[in-house]
Amino acid sequence: MSSTAKEETNNKPQPPKNNNNGKQNNNSNGNGNAKKQARLCPGRDSYERMNFLYQASVLMAESAPALSGCYGKLMKAVGKKAVLRVEPAIKRTLCARCGVALSSSSTASYSDFRHKKLSYVEVRCKLCAFSKRYYENKKHRIRLDDPAAVVETMEFN
């Protein structure tokens, strides 16, 4: 046991080199598919991590809102670092300030305001009290809703 522990400690300073070599060898030898897919979809690793963090955030929203906010913020940070965009429909389910997953039952309150020409939906985060208004504007269209804006949809199994 002691010898293995020593070996591990000896190896620890080196891992950057070893890991990189191992990864390169693996990619060049066996994982042709993974390499192809990585080429087709740049930033796939980050997308997968963001997906995981988002799901974790939604899962924790009711039981541990602070943890949910932590995951949500981390998900945004990962996207920012890798310069990847989050779909507006998903982005709007996270609080813009604290990152908690907004759900009408626990972490957010939705109010619909209508007065003459002004109408909007206000989403208020119960955790950090940040509120965001979505104004009704018939001319406003989310770019992804335009079929011409979508070039290709990829699915990975």
What residue ranges bind Zn ion (CB under 5 A)?
A: 95, 97-98, 125, 127-128, 130
CA dist., res. 74 & res. 2, Å (int): 38
Assess contact for 72 and 109: CB atoms under 8 A. Answer: no
Cβ-based nearer residue to Zn ion, 59 or 82 = 59
Question: Min. distance of Cβ 38 from Zn ion in angstroms?
Answer: 34
Amino acid at 26: N
Helix (H) or strand (E) holding 133: strand 131-135
Cβ-based nearer residue to Zn ion, 49 or 97 = 97
Cβ-based nearer residue to Zn ion, 47 or 60 = 60
Assess contact for 112 and 144: CB atoms under 8 A. Answer: no
Question: Min. distance of Cβ 118 from Zn ion in angstroms?
Answer: 24
Cβ-based nearer residue to Zn ion, 78 or 95 = 95
Question: Min. distance of Cβ 99 from Zn ion in angstroms?
Answer: 7
Question: Min. distance of Cβ 127 from Zn ion in angstroms?
Answer: 5
Interhelix angle 44-60/32-40, nearest 10 degrees = 80
